[in-house]
Structure 1
Amino acid sequence: MKRLPELGTDAIVRISRQGGFAAVTALSRPREIDFAQCNPDQRDQVCSVLQTCLPVTTEGNAGAADRRFYRIELQFGQQNTQRDLVLQVPEEGAPDDLVQLWKEGT
């Protein structure tokens, strides 16, 4: 089973909805969550949501041009060891908690 990397207070999570026939930037409504601004419970909640997404993630192209997906960008690690990870979750397979996180944040 896939596991989420350890995310500390230096992590930043960006979630956006992309794809579809008419890709309209305003509809992507990107959400950014800076773990430095979150309390431990909020960080745990976000990590839990991201962990539930791992079984349905795709890499690279999320599918056909008419398919919508959620793009999750993780930026984590110290300055000299900073890492990036991109997950794509097809809209039809997205857990409700991910949709709620995208809409409302922490």
Structure 2
Amino acid sequence: QNINKGARDLNDTLDQTNLTDIFRTFHPKTGEYTFFSSTPGTFSRIDHILGHRKTGLNKNKRIEVIPCTCSDHKKKTTKKNKNQKTGQTRNTWTLNSMLLNNEWVKQEMKEEI
């Protein structure tokens, strides 16, 4: 399997922090991707829902990719187990769009794409 340096670095970081890609755990063999480029055959998994390797998995009942015909990007959704207490905190992560003004971030994104 051909894995680029960015993907290897991400996997190493996940291993070091005991995090795992929950979607990949629920769907280890599926070929669903969340980003499609206009370049034929160009697609990738650029979105991850991460959870702790030991405790994060049992909090989720289902996770899936939602198709979107109006964008080159798909979203992921999770359904939590009802018996898990989540408290009153918001568990949604959103990209800080100010990062897109950072030259280093833009360069990293260009290299990955």
TM bin, normalised by shorter chain, reads under 0.3
Structure with higher strand content: 1
TM-score by length of 2: 0.25
TM-score by length of 1: 0.26
